[in-house]
Structure 1
């Protein structure tokens, strides 16, 4: 008799690879009845995966049209590596899959945005860095303060101009270098990014002092951009304190 763990593993293998992987001692009764039951179960799982994709990528679906999106989704859920993904991770490789199908770059950006939005929404909580946290500190202490990106920060860089669906919803995005996605509190917030802001975000992934962050950004940008860039990220809720002691 198979253990529960062995049965679960065998079931997943059958659902992923077909009835040839069915263990002969897995169920009682005629094999035809097993296969009929497994087919119903597999169809239920397949439908749930397709629905999950529709709910994860509504804008991409709107852009491609229901028929095209559905056809691509059905191919995607059978793609190597995808059947083993949980429903909440089913869209993890969808943008890459669309790229392999020669979908236009603006639509790929749209799919990447929708996945990054979902990841931001489900990211861990963390206290954001506020400008009030720096009030009363000397310049030296401010520059020495270690910070990092908020766990919910995600960015999308545009290979061409952003899709018109996004540009219509986010002020200033039409001419932006990228898009910031962050959930500092209850809601996911979206804002356009210039090249200096993107540079700062790329260096703030791990702990870095404010002074070193400004230095890194200053290597490629004018000094007049440094403080506004830092303040804009603080106001967006994109940064968090590494040290809780600001005294």
Structure 2
């Protein structure tokens, strides 16, 4: 008799790989009845995974269209990457799958926009479920002496996700950019609500410098080196205003 973990592994393998992986000793009944029951179970799982993808990427689905999104979702669900994910994380690799599965007839620029959109939607979900933390505020830094402000250690809020853009934003998100030239979308949940913020190249670099930890002084130096000595604190204020930084003890 196999262990519980081994029995679960065999059961999942049978669902994913088909009858050849079946160990009939785990079930009661003829192989035909066992396979019939497993097929019904597999169909239920497949439907749940397709629904989860639809709910995870509503904007991407609207841009692609219902029929094509369903076909792409079914293809994705058969990949090893998707099969390795549970229902809550089924969409983790979906944007990457789209990058090589969207029809070339749609155009490289549109396909890149769709992939960016899918990445942003998944980042929104990750941000929503991320750990809580108290964001650094403009009011808090205004009370610091200059030396204390420059030496203040900061890092990104746990909910921050950074989505560099490869193309202009897809239609559902064009309102985020306005007239600015955006390098990335910053996704953050400093309180109860997830926010999406279009950021320029300088702010993107500042955010990336905080992936581990930095100080306000270091961020100002980097901003100055990027060629805007007149406003080196601009990217830092943008990140703080968005609730994207936390003070590191």
TM range (shorter): over 0.9
CA contact (8 A) 1:53 1:91 kept: yes
**Normalization by structure 2: what TM-score?**
0.92
The whole-number CA distance in structure 2 between the counterparts of 1:209 and 1:73 is 43
**Residues 1:140 and 2:177 aligned together:** no
CA contact (8 A) 1:161 1:175 kept: no
CA contact (8 A) 1:167 1:173 kept: no
**Normalization by structure 1: what TM-score?**
0.93
In structure 1, the gaps of 5 or more residues are: none
Relative distance call for 1:59 and 1:136 in structure 2 (3 A) is closer
Q: What is the DSSP-based 3-state SS (H/G/I as helix, E as strand, rest coil) of the residue aligned with 1:175?
A: coil
Please list the CA deviations of residues 208-230 of structure 1 after superposition, one character each: whole Å capped at 9, or x if unmatched: 11111211222213122321221
The whole-number CA distance in structure 1 between the counterparts of 2:23 and 2:30 is 13
Q: Which residue of 1 aligns with 2:122?
A: 115
**Residues 1:44 and 2:25 aligned together:** no
Counterpart mapping for 1:54-203 below 5 A: 54-102=54-102, 104-168=111-175, 170=176, 172=178, 175-203=181-209
Relative distance call for 1:216 and 1:75 in structure 2 (3 A) is same
The whole-number CA distance in structure 1 between the counterparts of 2:180 and 2:171 is 8
Count of residue pairs the alignment pairs up? 242
The whole-number CA distance in structure 2 between the counterparts of 1:160 and 1:94 is 18
CA contact (8 A) 1:196 1:225 kept: no
Relative distance call for 1:86 and 1:174 in structure 2 (3 A) is farther
Question: Which range is displaced more, 210-219 or 111-120?
Answer: 210-219
CA contact (8 A) 1:196 1:221 kept: no
In structure 2, the gaps of 5 or more residues are: 104-110
> What CA RMSD, in Å, does the superposition of the two structures yield over aligned residues?
1.5
